[in-house]
Amino acid sequence: MLARLTALSLVFAFCGSAQTTLRQAAAQRALPIGAAADADEYGQANKLNIPAYATTLSTQFSMLEPENAMKWDVTQPGQNTFNFEPADKLVAFAQANHMVVRGHNLCWHSQLPAWLGPYAQTATPAQMSTVLQNHINTVVGHFQGQVFAWDVVNEPFNDPATGVLPDLRNSIWYNQPGIGQSGTGYIEQALRWAHAADPNALLFINDYNLEAPGAKFNALYAMVKDFVSRGVPINGVGFEMHLTLGSYPSSTGLAQNIQALYALGLQVHITEMDVRLQVDSNGNASAADLQSQAAQYQRIMTVCLQNPGCTAFQVWGVSDGNSWIPGSFPGFGAALPFDVNYQPKPAFNSLISAMQTVTPTLNSANIVNAANYKGGSVAPGELVTIFGANFGPPSLAGAQLDSNGRVASTLSGTQVLFDGTPAPLIYSLAGQVSAVVPYEVAGKTQTVVQYVYNNVQSNTVTVPVVPAVPGIFSQNSLGTGPGSMLNPDNTLNTAQNPIAAGSYVQIFATGAGTIAGGAVDGAPAPGAGAQTLTVTATVNGVNAPILYAGPAPGEVNGVLQVDLTIPSGTPSGPQAVVVLVNGVASQGGVTVAVK
């Protein structure tokens, strides 16, 4: 049941400390929180050897992104001469500190090595295509399995936008001379090459000034909508979020853009947030501006937490002393949550506050059968999984028994209420919790569900109640393939350990509705029993005699056990099994291995 927990949950482990860190607070939101980081690229002293830098990076963040070390001018300083040493140091640091790595970037008009500009002057588009493909293959291949998301193409759009699609800026990759593709073709090609080099990496297009509705966002949206419609490999869009107090996106507009991309199935990462302030000759900003800055950080984090499409939050530098701002905007600085001495600023506190107070969002569509992940309704005693309630335990909390020996309905600060009744909790983790629908909903047509963590309540949603909605547990925890089934000798039924026709197999499911004679929420089934409703089953489409159908002895009430005889004549191999409760069928695609 737990297989759907993301690997990212591994980065959310942390040891407690006096002051809550950004990393600890974000772990309770299932939100990777990152910083742009440097090692010794450009021959500078390795910043990772600065104790305060390294400590701030590893304790305050669960993600890092090389600010420059993976860019062309560092990784391919000479044609076909690659240098990954600085980036490897950053990746090693991340791995040592259980952090994930965002890669940045594979295709950009800026920070190109000295050889590439002159080369592009005389190269043909075919030659440029070879150069770009070779770079992407080599770089993504080198970091395969170490970078969970890439900014594949960086800042491709005109700024300011012209409003004429595709509205792409001139560049050696697009049209000067380009790689032989028209319109957004070079971006599509870069995405396809990146996907081929690491099929598991998430692929993003990253740009600035996408955070508000307008012509630039429209150009981006038109491109990614086309890409999604044609199956071009793309997973999300990076909103850089470089702000100043005078200009920043409205919460409504930012949410609107996140939701528009989410509707396409795309994620949004806040990739490079900073809020530059006017500073004095010592680099200090006014107290008032620092408070205004804090309000902007809180606001952007709040919108991110309120929108499931926003799946990562990153600032562009570890501290004010490592920010690009002073060098690029004379008279400005103090842009990040930590000051030049790595001390938290008001912006740090406002990020923590947002992460500890923004109410988690409950979506009824994310309340699904724990065995087959189908939603839309619930049944009494059904084990359900609720995704997306993004405020919960930073690491997986397994079921606890209360003083009555029942599965507890409060787990690491979480509760799931059905019409106000706390449900037994099978496990809980920020963003994914599994509960047993209380039998009290029996006979109702709907139930009001609410999620609570550390006394912070989600919105409520109303879910239809049905007598039964069966799902069979499968070995892959995805609700497909070989079922979680036992042979008569209690060994797992597998292709290597099949069952003969005529013998019986023990199937485990949930969503079969009420138990004859009643059942106590969260209590272990005392022994053999029976369901109130009629249970039947088929194997390979043939009715299978039921030997037992009732609560699984010793398991929490709600787990259905069905012992059925494999009909004689059933062919050998994986055969489809369906359990029906009052004629309502479980999901297809679950099999039993027959000799």
Residues annotated as catalytic (active site), given as ranges: 155, 272
State which of residues 21, 29, 31, 67 lies at the interface with ligand G3I (CB under 6 A): 67
Instruction: Give CA–CA dist 510/438, Å, rounded.
Output: 13
| Distance of closest approach, residue 139 Cβ to ligand G3I, in angstroms | 15
Contacts of ligand G3I in 143-162 (CB under 6 A): 154
**Which CB atom, from 73 or from 88, has the smaller least distance to ligand G3I?**
73
Q: Which residues contact 444 (CB under 8 A, 6 or more apart)?
A: 419, 465
Q: Binding to ligand G3I by residue 484, rule CB under 6 A?
A: no
| Distance of closest approach, residue 154 Cβ to ligand G3I, in angstroms | 6
Q: Which residues contact 461 (CB under 8 A, 6 or more apart)?
A: 362, 363, 364, 367, 448, 449, 450
Q: If you compute the radius of gyration of the chain from its CA atoms, what whole number of angstroms results? A: 27
* Phi (first) and psi of residue 351, to 5 degrees: -65, -45
Q: Binding to ligand G3I by residue 171, rule CB under 6 A?
A: no
Instruction: Give CA–CA dist 37/57, Å, rounded.
Output: 8
| Distance of closest approach, residue 269 Cβ to ligand G3I, in angstroms | 13
User: Which residue type does 210 have?
Assistant: L
| Distance of closest approach, residue 109 Cβ to ligand G3I, in angstroms | 10
- The residue behind tokens 């047509």 is 445
Instruction: Give CA–CA dist 202/103, Å, rounded.
Output: 10
**Which CB atom, from 49 or from 111, has the smaller least distance to ligand G3I?**
111
Contacts of ligand G3I in 272-291 (CB under 6 A): 272
**Which CB atom, from 67 or from 167, has the smaller least distance to ligand G3I?**
67
With H, G, I as helix, E, B as strand and everything else as coil, classify residue 229.
Answer: helix
Q: Binding to ligand G3I by residue 42, rule CB under 6 A?
A: yes
| Distance of closest approach, residue 301 Cβ to ligand G3I, in angstroms | 20
Per-position x/- string for 490-529, each x denoting binding to ligand G3I as judged by CB under 6 A, each - no binding: ----------------------------------------
Structure tokens at 577: 């099994």
Q: Binding to ligand G3I by residue 78, rule CB under 6 A?
A: no
Q: Binding to ligand G3I by residue 182, rule CB under 6 A?
A: no
Q: What is the distance, to the nearest Å, from the Cα of residue 456 to the centroid of all Cα atoms in its chain?
A: 22
**Which CB atom, from 45 or from 263, has the smaller least distance to ligand G3I?**
45
Residues paired with residue 143 on neighbouring β-strands, in sequence order: none
Query: What would you measure as the largest C-alpha separation in the chain, in angstroms?
Result: 88
**Which CB atom, from 44 or from 543, has the smaller least distance to ligand G3I?**
44
**Which CB atom, from 67 or from 521, has the smaller least distance to ligand G3I?**
67
State which of residues 9, 60, 68, 458 lies at the interface with ligand G3I (CB under 6 A): 68
Instruction: Give CA–CA dist 411/424, Å, rounded.
Output: 9
Instruction: Give CA–CA dist 48/57, Å, rounded.
Output: 9
User: Which range, of 41-49, 79-87, 442-450, 452-460, touches ligand G3I by CB under 6 A?
Assistant: 41-49
Question: Which residue is nearest to ligand G3I, using beta carbons?
Answer: 324
Contacts of ligand G3I in 414-453 (CB under 6 A): none
Instruction: Give CA–CA dist 521/523, Å, rounded.
Output: 6
Give the containing element (helix H, strand E) for 255: helix 251-262
Contact of 291 with 41, CB cutoff 8 Å: no
| Distance of closest approach, residue 7 Cβ to ligand G3I, in angstroms | 26
The sign of the dihedral angle between the CA atoms of 162, 166, 172, 175 is negative
From the DSSP assignment, how many helices (H) and strands (E) are in the chain? Answer: 12, 30
| Distance of closest approach, residue 249 Cβ to ligand G3I, in angstroms | 16
User: Which residue type does 102 have?
Assistant: R
With H, G, I as helix, E, B as strand and everything else as coil, classify residue 193.
Answer: helix
Contacts of ligand G3I in 254-273 (CB under 6 A): 272
Contact of 220 with 228, CB cutoff 8 Å: no
Q: Binding to ligand G3I by residue 111, rule CB under 6 A?
A: yes
Q: Binding to ligand G3I by residue 110, rule CB under 6 A?
A: yes
| Distance of closest approach, residue 161 Cβ to ligand G3I, in angstroms | 17
Contact of 280 with 334, CB cutoff 8 Å: no
Contacts of ligand G3I in 313-352 (CB under 6 A): 324
User: Which range, of 38-46, 291-299, 334-342, 377-385, touches ligand G3I by CB under 6 A?
Assistant: 38-46
The footprint of ligand G3I on this chain (CB under 6 A) covers a number of residues equal to: 11
Contacts of ligand G3I in 528-587 (CB under 6 A): none
| Distance of closest approach, residue 151 Cβ to ligand G3I, in angstroms | 8
Query: Rounded to whole angstroms, what are the CA distances from 251 to 47, 292, 442?
Result: 35, 15, 42
Per-position x/- string for 202-221, each x denoting binding to ligand G3I as judged by CB under 6 A, each - no binding: --------------------
Binding site for ligand G3I (CB under 6 A): 42-44, 67-68, 110-111, 154, 240, 272, 324
